[in-house]
Amino acid sequence: MKLINRHLLTVFPLAILVFHSISYAVVEGVIGSLPLEKNINVSSQLPSTNASEIIISRKQYVISYNKTTRSPNWASWELDPQNMGNADRSNGFSQDTELEEYLAKQGGQYKAVTSTEYKGTCFDRGHQVPSADRTNSSKDNEATFTMANMLPQTAFLNRVLWEDLERYTRDLVTLKNKKAYVIAGPIYDENFGAIGPNKDIPVPSKNFKIVFLLEPNQTAKDISKDTPALAVILPNTLADGSAVPMNENVDCLAISNLSSNNGDWNAYRTTVDEVEKLTGIRF
C-alpha cells in the first residue's frame, strides 16, 4: 500500500490512496484545490466502486468522475445552513477546465464534457450537487455548474422528483435543525442510449440519492450504521414511466411538457442495500 501525504493540487498515478484516517478505493488520480483530509464533504471512507474513477476534491463537494461515461459515478456533499445564502443562481454551465487539463496530460483520448454537448437532446443538464445547496457565495454556486457535476436527466426527473427531494432536504436542515451528508449518482441497469456529438455520454436509467441526517455538531466522519438515512432510486423517464425516444425527429419541447407536477419522490424510497445492489458501489 502506498502512503501519500500531499496536497491534492498534484495529480497522483494509479494507487490505493490513504489520507490520514480516510481510506479510498483504487483511483486513477486526484485533482482539486482542497486536500481530501481537510474536505468536510467526505466521510471516513469514500464509496467504493470498480468503475473508472478520478476524484475531484473541492470546497463545495467531492466527485468521483468516470472518464469512460464522461459523468460522475457519484457526488458527495455536506449541507448545513451556512451553505445557503443570498447568492444568485449563476446558470454558468461550463467545462471542468481542471479535469480537461488532467485528461489532456493523460494523452487526450478522453475529454471533459463541454456545456453544449447536451444541446439537441431531450435531457436537462442535471445537477448532482444542487445549485441551491451552494448559495453562500457566487463562487460556491458557480462551482456546481461544472459539467463534471452533471448527468442527463429528463425534465420529469430533474424538475419534479429531484427538485422536490432537494427542497425537502434543505427544509430538514433549515427547519429541523439538522445537517445532511448527501451522496448521489447514476444507475445504468437498463440501456437508455447515449447522447452527445459522439454518442459517448450514456443516459442513466435511474438516479440514486442517499441522505444521512446528522446533528448540527456532527460531521460526515461521524456517520455510522445507526445514522438515520433516506435512500431513493428515481426513474430517469417521462412522467408516464416511458423512456425518452432516442431519434432525431423527437419533439423535445413536447417531451418536456409531458412532465407532471404530481410526481412524488416518496414513492421511490428504498434502502441503501438496494442502491448498492444496483450500482455496484459500497457505501
DSSP 78-123: EE-GGG--SPPP----B--HHHHHHHHHTTSSS-PPPTTTTTTSS-
Place of cell 484516517: 21
CATH says 15-279 is which class? Answer: alpha beta
Residue 13 has pLDDT above 50, yes or no: no
Q: Dihedral angle at the C-alpha atoms of 130, 91, 234, 216, nearest 10 degrees? A: 10
Closest CA to 143 of 158, 159, 130, 157: 130
Give the integer Cα–Cα distance in Å for 244 and 230: 28
Angle at the Cα of 166 (from 160 to 168), degrees rounded to 5?
100
For 226-276, what is each residue's pLDDT tens digit?
999 999 999 999 998 999 988 777 888 888 777 777 789 999 999 999 999
pTM of the model: 0.90
Q: What is the arithmetic mean of pLDDT over 155-159? A: 96
pLDDT given at position 18: 41
pLDDT of 25: 52
* Catalytic residue from among 67, 125, 127, 179: 127
Listed ranges 12-26, 37-51, 172-186; the one with the highest mean pLDDT: 172-186
Residues 57-80: tens digit of each pLDDT: 999 999 999 999 999 999 999 999
State yes or no: is 20 an active-site residue.
no
**When comparing pLDDT for 219 and 22, which is higher?**
219
In this predicted structure, what is the pLDDT of residue 7? 33
Residue 24 has pLDDT above 80, yes or no: no
Over the stretch 180-229, which tens digit does the pLDDT of each residue have?
A: 999 999 999 999 999 999 999 999 999 999 999 999 999 988 998 899 99
Q: Which long-range contacts (CB under 8 A, 24 or more apart) does 108-113 make?
A: 110/67, 110/68, 110/70, 111/70, 112/70, 112/147, 112/148, 113/70, 113/71, 113/147, 113/148, 113/150, 113/196, 113/201
What is d(CA 133, CA 170) in angstroms, rounded to the nearest whole number? 7
pLDDT tens string 113-147 = 999 999 989 999 999 999 999 999 999 999 999 99
Calpha distance 276→280 (Å, rounded):
5
**Which amino acid is it at 55?**
I
pLDDT confidence of residue 89: 96
User: Average pLDDT, whole number, for the chain?
Assistant: 89
Reported confidence tier of residue 19, pLDDT bands at 50, 70, 90: very low
Contact residues for 111 (Cβ-Cβ < 8 A; gap 6+)? 70, 100, 103
pLDDT of 38 > 50? The answer is yes
Find, among 219, 220, 213, 192, the residue nearest to 204 by Cα: 192
